[in-house]
Structure 1
Amino acid sequence: GALIHRLIRGGCALFTAHTNADRANPGVSDALAGALGLTGLRPLEAKPEPATDKWVVMVPSDAADTVRAGLFAAGAGALGNYRECCWSTTGTGQFRPVDGADPAIGSVGDLERVPEDRIEVIAPRRSRAVVLAALRDAHPYEEPAFDIIELADLPSDRGLGRVGELPQTRTLREFTADVAAALPATEWGVRGAGDPNRPVRTVAVCGGSGDSFLGLATAQGVDVYVTADLRHHPADEHLRAGGPALVDVAHWASEYPWCAQARDVLDRAFADRDGWQARVSELRTDPWTTAAGAVR
């Protein structure tokens, strides 16, 4: 709180990055993977793409353009960098109005067959109420016929952790030394768990505390998992169960490579602003300040 008040007095904006940076692409684990030279990155725990519905709407052909326009205005029909996307075909709709109906076409009691367009569009599931209201407002029928189909969740390139490949196979002992050389030095150091001579090529990483993903790392079939704040019992049980080797680094060191990445993102966004300058603070926030020599 005191820091926020100080920033306000100094006229400084504040953007706080935590899980938002962990899940982003690029994000914390991308930067860690990049520092270790990994390629072919994919999320360790992929975040799904936003939930999507497919709307199928039947509408008289002469009112189809009006209904399409209403759906598009409500946010339907967006596909990547494209807008007003839909698919349409023409068929024959049939209905018989009964007592109490107020049909836009035909008469109560009479069977009607009408040329209709079948319109298919996608829309974010969160916009369902807005799209439904737009559909009812634009459609000429008092009871429009439509389907809402919930599409399957698809993995995105965002999510926690990353899995990638080393340029060449290393032993766990060699790789542990590589990690120590790639990250800022800390009193915590870098520790490896598993057979020191185990060959490693496929690597999972998770910046920050990542022992909750030990099972995911095993399921991904990686050779080694790099993260921070590993605890004795989870690590021991993981290895006894046949999981991949582990490399444990300091929490601060695992996240620090992201700072330069974040600076580059800002530079790309604001470099054309007069007087723009971005730099990474050299203040070390690792809480560990001293350590005794390892006992062998």
Structure 2
Amino acid sequence: MKQVNGHQVVQLLEQFSPKAFAMEGDPVGLQTGALNRKVSKVLTTLDVTHEVVDEAIEKGANFIIAHHPLIFRPLKTINLETSAGRLIEKCIKNDITVFAAHTNLDVAKGGVNDMLSEALGLQEPSVLVKTFEDTYKKLIVFVPETHASIVRDAITAAGAGQIGDYSDCTFTTAGTGRFKPDTNAKPFIGEQGSIEEVKEEKVESIFKASNEKEILHALKSSHPYEEPAFDVFEQSIPGEVYGLGRVGKLKEPVSLGEFTAFVKKQLNVPAVRVTGDPEKQIKKAAVLGGMGSKYFQTAKFAGADVYITGDVDFHTAQDAEAAGLSIIDPGHHVEEIMKTGLAVELTKRANNEGLNVEFIPSSLSTEPFTFM
């Protein structure tokens, strides 16, 4: 097993939840600390509080991945007389790096909203609010026959060639490459000033635009030539849609009252706020983690009978009820489902790459409200 640093931890996270997915202005990424230090244990948490940092220290975690950014607005000063200042100081003094994955983790496949959708049993869920479309590009690279399989393996391992449920999709044609190294070149094949002909393969593969940086890095790292010849083309085929929330049918219709009890149980909350007739039949539901009240009309337009989201205000609840859409508000804190879900996902990816790092979910609740 290979030792890792913070950069490699971030690379695992961004394999499925890249920064490009984040909403404009969302302060995702490095919050405090450094990414070039060794990491042995990572704590996943909804929020970064003094208690959570103490937990990280106790458990030997020197890296925290939080859903809610520690520094949400730009700081003008770090005042150690304030709680926020002391919290940043505690992280720095204990060499704990804090990294935030917020709306990018909300919209990611397998992210917060997919976790909530799965917990609530939504069937064939689709994106509720489109925020990002990951378009496709095509890579064409020319490689000596002797190294074609090496380059193919490298680019597909980086994410190229994924089409639906099929991976490692490439197309190869044989040909002859011709080139003349100049006097400053250090050619892998051939001599300076002489025309060289080499049996080459043209390898083609498509990839998601969000993975371009990683795929081109894999290409250049694995290619034997000093100056690899390759092209990247935009593709007109529809890209994969990402976004906030999910909407899907229930396995079987139930009353609003029954579904509300199910939501409480599945999301492990002591109470919820509900609008609508408890006897109303629920066939289709929408869910959006965190504060999603402004999207209630989108949920209604998507055909949902009920919308599960947090922090719903009085007038929005009234407007939704008037529109015939029931609301279940279990609170913002249900996003804590990401703690275990993210730790499991990153553990799987680290094991697949032979990386020696442990991911553990925080055992603490950061819910500020007490139900009495």
Q: TM-score, normalised by structure 2?
A: 0.51
Match of residue 151 from structure 1: 236
Q: What is the number of equivalent residue pairs in this alignment?
A: 240
Corresponding residue for residue 343 of structure 2: 263
Match for residue 237 of structure 1 among 305, 319, 342 = 319
Deviation string 1:232-256 (CA, Å, 9 cap, x unpaired) is: 11121122133x211111111x212
Paired residue type of 1:234: T
Identity level (%): 32
List aligned pairs for 1:180-199, cutoff 5 A: 180-186=264-270, 189-199=271-281
Shift of 1:164: 2.2
One-letter code aligned to 1:173 = G
Q: Provide the C-alpha distance between the structure 1 equivalents of 2:104 and 2:362, rounded to a whole number of angstroms.
A: 19
Partner secondary structure for residue 151 of structure 1: coil
Q: Which of 25, 38, 43 lines up with 2:127 in the alignment? A: 43
Offset at 1:170? Answer: 0.9
Q: How does 1:34-113 map to 2 (within 5 A)?
A: 34-51=118-135, 79-80=161-162
1:22/1:28 contact within 8 Å kept: yes
Deviation of 1:289 after TM superposition, in Å, equals: 2.4
Rate the CA distance shift 1:86–1:124 in 2: closer, same or farther, 3 A: farther
Deviation at 1:13, TM superposition (A): 2.6
Identify the residue that residue 248 of structure 1 maps to in structure 2: 329
Partners of 2:292 and 2:239 in 1: how far apart?
24
- CA displacement at 1:226 relative to structure 2: 0.5
Q: Which amino acid aligns with 2:254?
A: R
CA distance in 2, matches of 1:268, 1:10: 28
Where does the alignment leave 5 or more consecutive residues of structure 2 unmatched? 1-84, 144-150, 174-203, 213-228
Find out whether 1:207 has 2:289 as its counterpart: yes
Which secondary structure state, in structure 2, belongs to the residue aligned with residue 14 of structure 1? strand
Which digits, 9 at most, give the CA deviation of each residue in 1:165-196, with x for residues without a partner?
3222110011111111222334xx21221121
Letter of the 1:285 counterpart: T
- The change in CA–CA distance for 1:233 and 1:260 in structure 2 (over 3 A counts) is same
Question: What is the rounded CA distance, in whole Å, between the counterparts of 2:343 and 2:208 in structure 1?
Answer: 32
Aligned to 1:176: 260
Where 1:49 maps in the other structure, the secondary structure is strand
- Quote the offset at 1:122 in angstroms: 7.3
Distance in structure 1 (CA, Å) of the matches to 2:133 and 2:292: 23
RMSD, aligned α-carbons:
4.4
Return the alpha-carbon distance in structure 1 between the equivalents of residues 123 and 301 of structure 2.
19
Any conservation in 2 of the 1:172–1:195 contact (CA below 8 Å)?
yes
Aligned partner letter, 2:119: A
Change (3 A) 1:154 1:171: same
Residue 142 of structure 1 aligns with which residue? none
Give the 3 Å change call, closer, same or farther, for CA 16–155 of structure 1 in structure 2.
same
Cross-structure match for 1:286: 367
Deviation string 1:84-114 (CA, Å, 9 cap, x unpaired) is: 7699xxxxxxxxxxxxxxxxxxxxxxxxxxx
Kept after mapping to 1: 8 A contact 2:344/2:359? no
Q: Partner of 1:97 in structure 2? A: none
Q: Which moved more, 1:273-282 or 1:209-218?
A: 273-282
1:192 is paired with a residue whose SS is strand
Task: Provide the residue aligned with 1:106 in structure 2.
Answer: none
